[in-house]
Structure 1
């Protein structure tokens, strides 16, 4: 492995490790990111850490300030509301394009992802309502990505992925499942039925309602977590 390839591999390691920690809620909002400490922890160069952090900043997962370095991006209720609105619009566009252009392979991905998510949802009911299993979380992401994967527009898909990751970060920090307030499995099934029926209007209406409900629960979770966050900062 030459030095250039080694440097790229180290940068990707930093980027992947920190993105997973931030999106998964293990690195909390506003947490300081010490370059020297991260380089030692991950056994990489300080330059690789800086490059990885710059990539994360491009995805709005970290922020940098002159003379203060990098920190995990903060969260707020207004930002969450903007995020939900943006995600709805992008996901509607992606779904419409996927329905218009997706073929049998796309339909197969949707059915397969939904089947796996449904089976894991049965196991999820055995966990406390405030705990999301890692397998369910992964399957949920794969399901939403499968729904739009028939979209041929790469820019829309990249925006979809970025917005999904940001939403997932909020969900992991507040972890609301909705409990008796919603039928998530029913919502997912309705989405599958609409896209397989090639009903663009129905699919867009369903994804709008689905994400609005999720957004409302995330706001409630964020408000519930606010006292704990304030206590941590004190």
Structure 2
């Protein structure tokens, strides 16, 4: 992996906490985008030098990533990016179905017209950017990822539970790492139609059919899992990174 292009401005108002937050966000983004690979060692001194920050700032940023579930810490081995596995993928996917399905059901039950309008708006914004596969090195893919995240969050924003949303967000980030490892474009010779999957979810939400919406959401997550499983060789390859 080449050097990370990163700069933290040092204006008079900036302090250690803002530097730490900036570093945390950068490392988090690199982990989710698999620019920092699963299992990769994270050397505190090297990161401090690379980003021109203190050792303490690096330690705090890495500690936050441990809390996020994206980094693991060990007394003997230091810090490293959390590994991936098919067993973990299955666990993450099923737990996400359970948590996000509950949040979606509650949102449909409790959401008002403003919430429904926000879902439609996020859906329109997502459709406006053509879908790109994770192995397509274009700026459109990153823009699609951002809008995709906003769309899925909009679906559950009316659930009324900050705790539920917090757990949901952690699972979304874990799922995102796996989704980016999925480089297969079709299953059984049939190309994936992500837009159709999203359309089915939105259609059920608009009808306020919670059962149908949760089924469509579960199917959507299950297809992603299937694609990642077909990329198992890629997961094995990056899991051996050091």
Report the TM-score when normalising by structure 2.
0.86
Once residues 13 and 178 of structure 2 are traced to their aligned partners in structure 1, the CA distance between those partners, rounded to angstroms, is 36
Which of 148, 151, 160 is the equivalent residue of 2:156? 148
Q: Structure 1 CA distance, aligned partners of 2:240 and 2:92?
A: 26
Moved segments of 4+, more than 6 Å = none
Give the C-alpha shift of residue 4 in structure 1.
11
Alpha-carbon RMSD across the aligned residues, in angstroms, is 2.3
* Residue-pair matches, total: 227
From the two aligned structures, give the one with the greater helix fraction: 1
2:102 to 67, 74, 93: 93
> What is residue 80 of structure 1 aligned with on the other side?
89
- State the alpha-carbon separation in 2 of the partners of residues 129 and 83 from structure 1: 19
Q: What is the CA deviation profile of residues 68-112 of structure 1, one whole-angstrom value per residue up to 9, with x for unaligned ones? A: 210001111100010100000011111011111211221121111
The alpha-carbon deviation at position 224 of structure 1 amounts to: 3.2
Unaligned regions of 5+ residues in structure 2, if any? 1-9
Match of 1:131 in 2: 136
Within 1, Cα distance between the matches of 2:184 and 2:28? 21
Equivalent of 1:216 in 208, 211, 226: 226
TM-score of the two chains, using structure 1 as the length reference: 0.89
Looking at structure 2, the residues matched to 187 and 200 of structure 1 have their Cα atoms a distance apart, in angstroms, of: 16
Question: How far apart, in 1, do the equivalents of 2:126 and 2:72 lie?
Answer: 34
Q: Give 1:1-234 correspondences, 5 Å limit.
A: 6-121=15-130, 124=131, 130-131=135-136, 133-178=141-186, 180-221=190-231, 223-226=232-235, 228-229=237-238
